[in-house]
Amino acid sequence: MAIQVRVPTILRSYTGGSKVVEGAGGTLDALFTDIDSRFPGLRGRLVSADGGGELHRFVNIYVNDEDVRFLGGLDAKITDGDSITILPAVAGGSTDDRAAFGRLAGR
Amino acid sequence: MLRIERAVYEAIVAHARRDHPDEACGIVAGPAGSDRPERFVAMRNAERSPTFYRFDSIEQLKVWRVMDDRDEEPVVIYHSHTATEAYPSRTDISLASEPNAHYVLASTRDPEHTEVRSYRIVDGAVTEEPVEIV
């Protein structure tokens, strides 16, 4: 058994063009580490590199139908048979104001 | 070039006008690889803001799943600017994540006239393209 991960177009350069990859792990963090061992660089596009290791703000990650931000982020528990979906957030706006942009990014 | 049917074009303009002064956003889906924007989908702006937009993450998942089931892709991603011109801001450029999409901007700053323009945004480079209404 494995966990299926659906990869958006913009990240398929890391998966040899594959739309779906499989991995294993009891948490989202462990799953991404497992996948990164076969598709190097993918984890870095999802998780910030600094020690905190937080999910990037403009990537949406779902466990089945739920946004992982409401499931504990990288600590979200996952089990075999779960389906993970990665989607780039669709966002923007008219302002170029840096402080305001920071507020948007802070969501 | 963006070729778009008049009814779809007018649906984008109507959505932008309806949500003014907040930014409106949505997509037009089409068969994958066709470059034909056919199915208009207005999205909620989770930010409800006159200067920002962001698709609601759960609504986005639902809409993307339907596209997947129908073998579609977001041919157009649109949003409005309500006080500035229809040109991508630095924020728009830095967050653009669909290199195959036409990024359509509609400006509602003029109450009489809605300015609609289309761009490709790839790796931070913006290229404006003509819009042909068919």
Question: Comparing A107 with B101, which gets the higher pLDDT?
Answer: B101
Please list every residue in chain B whose beta carbon sits closer than 8 Å to the beta carbon of residue A97: 51
CATH of the structural domain B2-133, one choice from 3.90.1150.10, 3.50.30.30, 3.10.520.10, 3.40.140.10: 3.40.140.10
Residue A6: is its pLDDT beyond 90?
A: yes
Choose the closest CB to B52 out of A9, A65, A95: A95
pLDDT at residue B24, rounded to an integer: 98
**Taking the C-alpha atoms of B81, B84, B90 and B96 in order, what is their torsion angle to the nearest 10 degrees?**
20
Beta bridge partners of B104: B78, B118
Please list every residue in chain B whose beta carbon sits closer than 8 Å to the beta carbon of residue A45: none
Mean pLDDT, rounded, for A39-61: 87
Distance from CA of A71 to the nearest CA of B (A): 13
> Quick one: which of B35, B26, B31 has its CA closest to B70?
B31
pLDDT at residue A76, rounded to an integer: 95
Q: Which two tokens stand for residue B4?
A: 């778009």
Distance from CA of A105 to the nearest CA of B (A): 10
pLDDT at residue A97, rounded to an integer: 63
**Confidence class for position A13, pLDDT limits 50, 70, 90:** very high
Please list every residue in chain A whose beta carbon sits closer than 8 Å to the beta carbon of residue B104: none
**Confidence class for position A107, pLDDT limits 50, 70, 90:** very low
* Domain assignment of residue A45, given as a range: 3-105
| Residue-wise DSSP of B62-80 | HHHHHHHHTTEEEEEEEEE
ipTM confidence score: 0.93
Give the tens place of pLDDT for each residue, B25-35: 999 999 999 99
Q: Look up the CATH number of the domain holding residue A82.
A: 3.10.20.30
Choose the closest CB to A92 out of B27, B50, B53: B53
> Quick one: which of A64, A68, A67, A69 has its CA closest to A81?
A64
pLDDT at residue A104, rounded to an integer: 61
Question: Comparing B1 with A107, which gets the higher pLDDT?
Answer: B1
Least confident of A50-54, B26-30, B103-107: A50-54
Give the tens place of pLDDT for each residue, A65-87: 999 999 999 999 999 999 999 99
Phi and psi angles of residue B3, each rounded to the nearest 5 degrees, phi first: -105, 125
pLDDT at residue A75, rounded to an integer: 94
Question: Would an 8 Å CB–CB cutoff place A99 in contact with chain B?
Answer: no
Q: Total structural domains in chain A?
A: 1
Which value, in Å, is the radius of gyration of the alpha carbons in chain B?
14
CA distance B107 to B104: 10
Question: Would an 8 Å CB–CB cutoff place B102 in contact with chain A?
Answer: no
Give the tens place of pLDDT for each residue, B108-133: 999 999 999 999 999 899 999 999 99
